[in-house]
Structure 1
Amino acid sequence: MTEVVAAVIEREGRVLICQRPAHKARGLLWEFAGGKVEPGETKAQALARECREELGITVEPGEVFLEVTHAYPDLTVHLTVLRAGLAEGEPQLLEHADLRWVTAAELPGFAFCPADGAIVQKLRQG
C-alpha cells in the first residue's frame, strides 16, 4: 500500500484543485495538491515538500480532514487529507497541467481521480 497525502487549501471561500499532467497515471484528471510520503517523512512533512516541489508554495499543514483507502488497477493508496494554510507564495504550474480555485458547488463539474471523490463529497456537505 502506498501512503499518499493531499491538501485542502482554502482561500476566500474557494479550494485549490490541480489537474494531473497528461503523461502521468490518471492524466488530466483533477486532484488536490499532494503526493507520496517518502520513507522517514511525517505526513505533514510530505505535504509541505510536495506543495513546495509541485506548486512553489509554502503551506502549514493542519488537522486531518479525512482518510480513505482506494484500489486503482496499478496500485492501492491510503490517502490522508490534511487541511493546510497557504503560508507563502502563489501556486504555480511547475508540475500540473492546470490549477483552479473553485467553490464547493463547482467541484462536481471537474473529473477527479477516484480516490479524491470522498474529499469532494465531504467539501460539498460543508
Structure 2
Amino acid sequence: MPALRAHVIIPLMKPAKDVAAAIIIHKGRVLVTRRAPGQEMAGLWEFPGGKMEPGETPQACIIRELSEELAIACEAGDVLTSNLHTYPGGAINLIAVRVRMITQTCQLSVHDEARWVDGSELLSLDLAPADIPVAEAVRALLATNTINAE
C-alpha cells in the first residue's frame, strides 16, 4: 500500500485590505498628498486616507484618518469609485469617498507635502499605482463638472 502524503494548502493571495481615500474638491481642485521619506511608498502622491479597521465604514475611516494624519475635521459622503490593486506585499481595495473639509488647514505627519491640483495636473504627478484609476475618474468628473466645487 502506498504511503499517504500530507498536502498543505497554501493560499495564493491574502484577502485585499480595504483602504479609504478622501476625494476633497475645493474650487475645481482636488487635494493630494505626497508620502514623506521613510514612509511606505515615499515620494509618491496619493489621495489622503488609510486602512479601514474591522467593522469600520469607508466614511468613518476617512474621518479618523484625516484627523490622525492631517488634523483635518471633515464630513464624509458617498463612495465615488473603488479600485482593486495588487502590490508586491498584497492587494488593496481603494475606496474613494467624497469629503467636505470643515477645517481649512492641515498639518502634515506622514506626508511631506499637500497640494491642490486641477484635473489637468492630477495625472502628471507620480501617483501611487492604486490611486491612478481613481485619479482618472476624478479628472473626468472635474472635466464634466459633475462634482460641484465648494
Query: Residues 89-100 of structure 1: matches in 2 within 5 Å?
Result: 89-100=104-115
1:48 partnered with 2:55: no
Q: 1:64 aligns with which of 75, 79, 98?
A: 79
1:13 partnered with 2:28: yes
Query: Residues 1-126 of structure 1: matches in 2 within 5 Å?
Result: 1-126=16-141
Q: What amino acid is the match of 1:37?
A: M
Asked if 2 retains the 8 angstrom alpha-carbon contact of 1:56 and 1:94, the reply is no
User: How many Å apart are 1:36 and its aligned residue?
Assistant: 0.3
Q: Which structure shows the higher helix fraction?
A: 1
Distance 1:56 1:81 in 2: 19
Asked if 2 retains the 8 angstrom alpha-carbon contact of 1:62 and 1:82, the reply is yes
Asked if 2 retains the 8 angstrom alpha-carbon contact of 1:56 and 1:91, the reply is yes
User: How many Å apart are 1:71 and its aligned residue?
Assistant: 0.2
Distance 2:57 2:140 in 1: 29
User: How many Å apart are 1:58 and its aligned residue?
Assistant: 0.9
Q: What amino acid is the match of 1:125?
A: A
Larger Rg: 2
User: How many Å apart are 1:65 and its aligned residue?
Assistant: 0.8
Structure 2, unaligned runs of 5 or more:
1-15, 142-150
Distance 1:118 1:108 in 2: 10
TM-score by length of 2: 0.80
Q: Which structure shows the higher strand fraction?
A: 1
Distance 1:75 1:60 in 2: 30
Distance 1:22 1:74 in 2: 19
Structure 1, unaligned runs of 5 or more:
none
What is the percentage of aligned positions where both structures have the same residue?
A: 37
Aligned length: 126
Please, what is the CA RMSD of the aligned residues? Answer: 1.1
